[in-house]
Amino acid sequence: MIPPILPGATLGILGSGQLGRMLAIAARRMGYRVHTLSPDCDSPTGQGADREITVAYDDLDAVRAFAKDVHVVTFEFENVLSETVDAAALHAPVRPSGTVLHITQHRLREKTYLRDHGFPVVPFCPIASLESLNTAIHDIGTPAVLKTAGFGYDGKGQIKIAAPHETGSAYAALGGQEAVLEAFIPFEREVSVVAARGVDGGFTHYGVLDNTHRNHILDVTATPSTVPVSITKEAVEIARGILETLDVTGVMCVEFFLTHDRHLLVNELAPRVHNSGHFTIDACVTCQFEQHIRAVCGLPLGAVTQHRPAAMANLLGDLWRDGEPDWPAALAFPGVKLHLYGKASARPGRKMGHLTAMADTVEQAVEQVTAAREALIGGD
């Protein structure tokens, strides 16, 4: 039996964005100390940590020294180098493991793993040259989506190919990087399951979440989902199977396409806390961030009971284009909660914060959270 890492110990976080910030807040509330390592200073995570170490991820001597000073290491985004995780693992347990990170930070490895283990995925082909892209287009057909194999998120590194003659320009636009070609799926909606698995194999989840995107970035999450109970059961079973097959310790998000004929296809995995789970801070007994701390520290997982229907709306840097948003106007909605991430500057598409609303129905929660966001820029 692996002994738990108890409050008073130190959690090490690789990465310094808003997910790390919310992990740090949850960890400190539970009595843990927090160290963070990233190339940035005065970062969202660093503002809530006991110690912020500002070095490059490939400074492996610094990473090893960082790991010696903590009791467990986790990461808040996938684009940490696998060498960094391997270096940290020499001195402290890394949860989820470096193996999980290695698979999920690379689209081709991830999709191949899922397909080979029997999980439903969109038809895809590996792309290493323009010739292989032309062959894949012939096999998969158009429309299709060409994606970089590694280091992509929020729609970055993705190009839709509407017709075969567009392959040359699409391949050139990715700069000849290793890529994946996927069939374009005309889906009914996008949903996700945010789940957690403990050191002992215990499993829990926050149900199926309805997600809407704008410009490939998550815009609004609503819960509980309006999908049929059978779809909810299937999605949770798939998510559980993935976490168990990968031997995940911690929170993972499984993103799905739900097709018009009611088939679920796994789109992406995120081996960490996730944007679509932010509503849990206000709406659930145990939020995803506390759940992740519990899991990676070997503590029992917490109850996931949701108090009321809820909706979360992202706040992107676009809201700052005419100056500081009108915070009092948004907070005039009594059921709305504001979360800002402490980022130094706003720019279009950058996640600066989010709003959460709770109401008697999920439809009312969505209406309230979107109205509050519109009020930030003077909308009616």
Domains of the chain plus CATH, in order, are 10-94 (3.40.50.20), 123-183 (3.30.1490.20), 187-375 (3.30.470.20)
Residue entry with tokens 């347990």: 93
Q: What pLDDT shows up at residue 82?
A: 87
- Tell me the C-alpha to C-alpha distance, in Å, between residue 313 and each of 90, 109, 138, 219, 279: 40, 31, 39, 6, 9
Q: What pLDDT shows up at residue 182?
A: 95
Collect all residues with Cβ–Cβ distance below 8 Å to 363 and sequence separation of at least 6: none
Q: What pLDDT shows up at residue 175?
A: 85
Strands (E), the chain: 10-14, 33-38, 51-54, 72-75, 124-127, 144-148, 158-161, 179-183, 187-197, 203-214, 217-223, 250-259, 264-270, 310-316, 336-340, 351-358
Q: What pLDDT shows up at residue 15?
A: 96
d(CA 257, CA 262): 9
d(CA 121, CA 137): 17
d(CA 127, CA 113): 17
Grouping H, G, I as helix, E, B as strand and the rest as coil, residue 50 is coil
Q: What pLDDT shows up at residue 379?
A: 47
d(CA 157, CA 154): 9
d(CA 292, CA 198): 9
d(CA 359, CA 379): 21
CB 270 within 8 A of CB 255: yes
Q: What pLDDT shows up at residue 112?
A: 97
Going residue by residue through the chain (380 aa), what tens digit of pLDDT does each one get?
Answer: 889 999 999 999 999 999 999 999 999 999 999 999 999 999 999 999 999 999 999 999 999 999 999 999 999 988 898 899 999 999 999 999 999 999 999 999 999 999 999 999 999 999 999 999 999 999 999 999 999 987 655 556 789 999 999 999 999 988 888 999 999 988 999 999 999 999 999 999 999 999 999 988 999 999 999 999 999 999 999 999 999 999 999 999 999 999 999 999 999 999 999 999 999 999 999 999 999 999 999 999 999 999 999 999 999 999 999 999 999 999 999 999 999 999 999 999 999 999 999 999 999 999 999 999 999 997 44
Q: What pLDDT shows up at residue 216?
A: 87
Using DSSP bridges, classify how beta strands 33-38 and 10-14 pair: parallel, antiparallel or unpaired. parallel
Torsion of CA 339, 343, 346, 349, to 10 degrees: -70
Count CB atoms within 10 A of the CB of residue 53: 19
DSSP character at residue 358? E
DSSP character at residue 277? G
